[in-house]
Structure 1
């Protein structure tokens, strides 16, 4: 009976995921992704600070839903890169990001094709808030939001799994129940990308291949890890994404 109930629940979740994905227009999701791409996954802090000023100025002149979404995401990137690893004047940007994305999340006028981005970054922003406040309840809520985003949108967007996996891999070891998502999510992205090359862009796949290998450094996975690291390096000739980390990990695994 327990097996039957578990199977029925799993099938129900798959049906929900399929239904939500079918309701969205993949081309429109990708069109929004193109408009948001320059504010996502920024690793150059100088570029990030310049982009922050530009996005805030654009939003001040025109607070459209796309500009508001861009603002929420750039605040997330600011919190992640400029205050997460060390205290700085940028503390509080995670909360700003969460509040803006929550406003969009609660609005009945928000375009449905923007929701994969809003759901995912809202969850990630809350996880950053929890890191600033040392609030475990907020971290648990962030993963509840991530799980909701994955169930609804992972079939059509890499973001729910990519951001959940990225948060999971940076958690301390004793959060093992949440850390497991790092292996699950990056493998899932690779599987979907192998079926549809438009599922994720080169930058995301570079980070994903590195993350997969980083989670599997043992001899059992050495051959596959090195293959994925080579893919990550080849995708990033100008060191705009995960190449540096991929090269460092490759050297570690081969010496």
Structure 2
């Protein structure tokens, strides 16, 4: 029944039209990004638990679309860091994230500049639901949603490609048709960042440089990979992004 509900929900929201990148205000996208940064790409599990209480309290006090977005995104981080592929008190948060973000995704009243983040995290949440329920059909649907988000919002926000690449890099090798996006998406973000230094923030680029190097460990790319790992480390002096993983991978590649 749960899987049927998710599938029906996807079919329903697909009928709603959304603003494309040409209709989105880039300044507003960046302003919204700043207001969402503290609930995105979290790696400290203790901090996530504290943040969860704060964000839920804020939403109860003020159920605005921004606070609802923050709640849905944080539920995604809870699912990824505290319950992914393991039984815990936080089991089911992927579904909670998907449901909250679907409400925003389906509403024609949602601010267009929120959509790059809502659409991307919603697709990622669906991939987590797929892993939790072992329903591979949902994974395919998640990548369809990612493709739509990249086409609509990839030119104005790193989020669609970053989230798709992050999911793709963790897939087993036999999902090669989807795993390829781990190489393509992080390369795309780096290229866009070279053209526009404000395209993605320091944390995202720290993770991106590390992820690119992880995907390019062969001798052919070794020199460039080590350069990117150095960038990942330099951008993250406090260890809130990709620094730790980059240091470990760099040490491995330097041996």
Q: What SS class does the counterpart of residue 156 from structure 1 fall into? A: coil
Residue in 1 that maps onto 2:176: 176
**In structure 1, what is the Cα distance between the partners aligned to 2:108 and 2:187?**
34
Displacement of 1:87 after TM fit?
1.8
1:79 aligns with 2:85: no
CA distance in 2, matches of 1:120, 1:181: 14
- Give the equivalent residue in structure 1 for 2:217: 217
User: Within the alignment, does 1:25 sit opposite 2:25 as a pair?
Assistant: yes
Q: Distance in 2 between matches of 1:30 and 1:224?
A: 29
Per the alignment, residue 39 of structure 1 pairs with 39
TM-score (norm 2): 0.92
1:106 maps onto 2:106 in alignment: yes
C-alpha contact (below 8 Å) 2:85/2:131 kept by paired residues: no
> For the residues of structure 2 that align with 1:85 and 1:136, how far apart are their CA atoms?
14
Q: How far has the Cα of 1:138 moved from its partner?
A: 0.4
Match of 1:132 in 2: 132
2: distance between equivalents of 1:85 and 1:135?
Answer: 13
SS in 2 for 1:173: coil
Aligned to 1:62: 62
Corresponding residue for 1:235? Answer: 235
Q: How far apart, CA to CA, are the structure 2 residues paired with 1:242 and 1:104? A: 30
Deviation at 1:22, TM superposition (A): 1.9
Distance (whole Å) between structure 2 residues aligned to residue 243 and residue 141 of structure 1: 32
Structure 2 Cα separation of the partners of residues 85 and 246 of structure 1: 24
Match of 2:226 in 1: 226
Tell me how far 1:85 sits from its aligned partner.
4.2
Deviation per residue, 1:45-66 (Å, 9 max, x gap)? 0100000000000001110000
TM-score under structure 1 length normalisation: 0.92
Task: Name structure 2 gaps, 5 residues minimum.
Answer: 1-18
1:132-163 CA-partner distances (Å, limit 9, x unpaired): 00001100000000000000000000000000
> Hey, what does 1:196 align to over in structure 2?
196
| Equivalence for 1:187 | 187
Partner of 1:141: 141
Structure 2 CA distance for aligned equivalents of residues 137 and 106 of structure 1: 21
Give the Cα separation in 2 of the matches to 1:106 and 1:166. Answer: 24
Corresponding residue for residue 252 of structure 2? 252
Q: CA deviation at 1:221?
A: 0.2
C-alpha distance in structure 1 between counterparts of 2:88 and 2:172, whole Å: 22
Query: How many corresponding residue pairs?
Result: 237
Deviation at residue 108 of structure 1 after TM alignment: 1.4
Q: Does 1:161 align with 2:161?
A: yes
Structure 1 unaligned regions, length at least 5: 1-18
The Cα RMSD (Å) is 0.8
Q: Which residue of 2 aligns with 1:14?
A: none
Contact 2:85 / 2:132 at 8 angstroms: preserved in 1? no
* Runs of 4+ deviating beyond 2 Å: none
Specify the alignment match of 1:116 in structure 2. 116
Aligned-pair CA distance for 1:86: 2.4
